[in-house]
Structure formats: structure tokens, C-alpha cells
Structure 1
Amino acid sequence: MSRSDERRDAPYVPGETALLLVDMQRIWLEPGLDHGHPERGPDHYFYRETATRTIPNQVRLLKAAREAGVEVIHTIIQSLTEDGRDRSLDHKLSPINIPKSAPEGLPVPELAPVGDEILLPKTSSGVFNSTNLDYLLRNLGIRYLVVVGIVTDQCVDMAVRDGADRGFMVTCVADACAAPTPERHDNALKAFGGYCWITNTDEVVKRFEAMKRATVAA
């Protein structure tokens, strides 16, 4: 990496860029499945926001990433055991337990992994803390990590901060993330903005498309 590219919005490099989708699971995104929040009806802000903006933007990003040869990694909250005894203390206290046998724990169909895309189960808010993501990214030669998902001020926040601390150049695509309220979403972006480049779906799609053209031309 040259000195001129040592900035948070530095151009992505083919073969060194990954798209990370955080917790885009049916249990959180389909009304009626999350028993931890019975107060959220189908018209709740979070469901409307994810259905009309977050998921469609991620679909666009996925398409562009796959066509450009960008590494795609999915992470979901999922226990390794049915009773969740392997969970973090925080998830036991919450309580959050999504066993492997639960179909609602899988990504929503439009964002499901394809081919040999990596799906990482995690049992904490921070994907770097309860998975081997750091090890995988380094094995894959990844330098640029594009983060999208839910919830902006929880699991997305931790992915961004931890990724930056581990030396990755992190991008957060603001309009491909969501939180239960717009205030929580906006406050999170302000809080962790110093750890990443915050941009939008249109900009990242353009970058992925440019990477695809450059690869074809080569």
C-alpha cells in the first residue's frame, strides 16, 4: 500500500477486498419471529427500514461484489449447540440462543450465501471475538473490508471498530445498515465514524463495477 493510498477512502484493490454481511437473518428481519421484541409489529420502523432500504441495497451490493470477484462473507448469530451452552455470557444473560436446527436463524433468502461463500456462526456481538474471521481474512489476502448489516449500533459497530483495530481498511455502507430507530443508527455512525470510511451503496457499487472492468481489461 503506497503512502498516497493511506486514507480511509483509498481505492479498493482486486483480490484484497471483501464484503461482510452482519446478522441478516430471518429471525431479526421477518416480523413475528423475534420473541425478544414482541412490541415490534409488522409496521415497526425497523421492519419497514430493512425491507425497503437495507435489504434492497445489500442485494445491489451482493450482485456487484459477486460480479467483480469480491470475497463475500456472511456472519450470523448461531450457537454451536442446541442448548446454547457455548454462547457468550452476554448472550446467556440477554438471552439469545439460535441453534443450528432453527431455520429462522439462516439469512433471508435474497441474501443467502451462494456457491462457496463463507458463512460464519458467532455467539457474541463482535464477529472478530467469537469467530476466526481475522485468520480467514488474512488467509484470503484481504486488506479492504466493506461492512453492512444489523444492528448499526451493536454488531455492526463492533465489526467496524474491531476490524480497524486489526489493521483492515474498513468501509461502512450507511444505507445498507439499520437500527431499531433512526436516532440509534445516526448516533452510531457518528460514534464510530473515526474508524472507517462511511459512504453509501451507490458509491460502493460504482467501485465494485470499476473493479470488474479493470479485471476484464487485464
Structure 2
Amino acid sequence: MKSALLCIDLQHLCAVRGEGIFSEGQSCPFSPEEQNYFFDRLEKQVLPNVQKLQAIFRDKGIEVLHIRTRTKTRDGRERTFWQKRAGLLATPGSRESEFIDSVMPRGDELIVNKTGSGPFGNTNLHALLVQLDVQQLYCCGVHTNTSIESTIRAAADYGYCPVLIPDATAAASQALQDNCVERLVGQCCEEIETNKLVEDFKHHLRSVG
């Protein structure tokens, strides 16, 4: 099966300390303990692993797609009810819509802008994947129990073969992370750790080189 790497919500809205959903104030939905856990995991494990994944996929010539939360309009009126309720807003050209520098798109890698938790149903992702003849989707990014889970469940329903990379994803607590992985794996996706996937690809490169 032809594959692609989906890098999900690795942007200032969702994954940068003190910005977006982590901005200081009463509207922040995460406790200090949850933020400390999330950013410790993100900075020490997830972002380095996403960098490894992007590097091997690029070296292999496999599509790397970047999925982010970003509206088409300046007031975000086309967002879902739940995004509006949660105060999720990343408009064109905004700081919130920018990718994290260390894992940002390169060259002409495709960018998909979504206005819901997952990209299926509110973007052209399905059409793009059909055009690219992609059937297997390796998923990394944040947050495991929201955008990642929504993407994987919808992908499975659309007939794709999703693969979760647990150590390249993060949620606000270890319990949320573990519970989500348990819900998904074996039900609507497979799983593989970053180093195992990288080694598999390196072996394949050697065997065909």
C-alpha cells in the first residue's frame, strides 16, 4: 500500500507553551500539572520523533502532509459548533496558525487546513489522498485524544489503513494518552513506535538500493 505521514496540529494554536489554547487566563482548559506533563512529553519525545519520521519519509520519497486548524474566514464563522464553544480560532496569517519551526513543511509538501477536530468531512483531504493513491496513513502530532483520534476513526471509516505512532503523539496526561491508545489500536488502527518504523524503512531502503 502507498503510504503518507500525517503531521497533525503541530502549530502555535495547539502545541506551544503560553500560546493558543495554552494562553494564560481563565479560558485555558489545562491545569498547570497537565501543561507541565504535555510540554515535557512534547519537547523531549514527540517533536524529536516527528523530526525523525519526517526525515525518513522525505528520504524515502513518501508524502508528508501537514494538517492544521485554520479557518478560511477572518472571523472563523465556518468553524464547527464545538470549535467555537472551545474558543479555538486560528485565522489566515495569524500566529496561532503558524507551524512549529522544527517540524514545519518543506518544499511543496501539502498543507490541509481544517475547521473541525479531524480533517475528514471539512477539507479536501480525502480527495487529495485518492489523487495520491494513498491507502495507509501514519499519524503523529497532537492531541492524541482529540484531533488524532478523530482523524484515525474517520480515516478507518473512509476505508484507509491508519497507523498510530504513540510515541510521536501527546495528550494532556498519561491516562488520556493510554486510554486513547487502548481505544484505538486493534479497533480502527494499528500502532508502531518511531524507532521501529524508521528501522523498517531503513532496512527496506537497503534491500532495494
Fold-level similarity (TM above 0.5): yes
* Aligned residue number for residue 47 of structure 2: 55
How far 1:92 sits from its partner (Å)? 1.4
Indicate conservation of the 8 Å contact 2:66/2:105, yes or no.
yes
Is 1:97 equivalent to 2:89 in the alignment?
yes
Q: Please, which runs of 5 or more residues in structure 1 have no aligned partner?
A: 1-12
* Aligned residue number for residue 189 of structure 2: 196
Amino acid of the structure 1 residue aligned with 2:65: I
CA displacement, residues 17-75 of structure 1 (integer Å, 9 cap, x when unaligned): 10001101123222111334274489611111100001010000000010001101000
* Aligned residue number for residue 33 of structure 1: 19
Indicate conservation of the 8 Å contact 2:35/2:172, yes or no.
no
How far 1:211 sits from its partner (Å)? 4.0
Amino acid of the structure 1 residue aligned with 2:189: C
SS in 2 for 1:44: helix
* Aligned residue number for residue 20 of structure 1: 6
Amino acid of the structure 1 residue aligned with 2:144: T
Amino acid of the structure 2 residue aligned with 1:32: G
2:206 to 191, 208, 213: 213
CA distance in 2, matches of 1:49, 1:139: 35
Q: Please, which runs of 5 or more residues in structure 2 have no aligned partner?
A: none
How far 1:129 sits from its partner (Å)? 2.2
1:179 to 158, 171, 174: 171
* Aligned residue number for residue 3 of structure 1: none
CA distance in 2, matches of 1:17, 1:140: 9
Alignment of 1:60-71 (within 5 A): 60-71=52-63
CA distance in 1, matches of 2:158, 2:88: 27
Percent identity over paired residues:
28
* Aligned residue number for residue 6 of structure 1: none
2:115 to 112, 123, 136: 123
How far 1:166 sits from its partner (Å)? 1.2
CA distance in 1, matches of 2:113, 2:179: 27
* Aligned residue number for residue 132 of structure 2: 140
Indicate conservation of the 8 Å contact 1:32/1:41, yes or no.
no
CA distance in 1, matches of 2:75, 2:53: 35
Amino acid of the structure 2 residue aligned with 1:17: S
| TM norm structure 2 | 0.90
1:83 to 61, 66, 75: 75
* Aligned residue number for residue 7 of structure 1: none
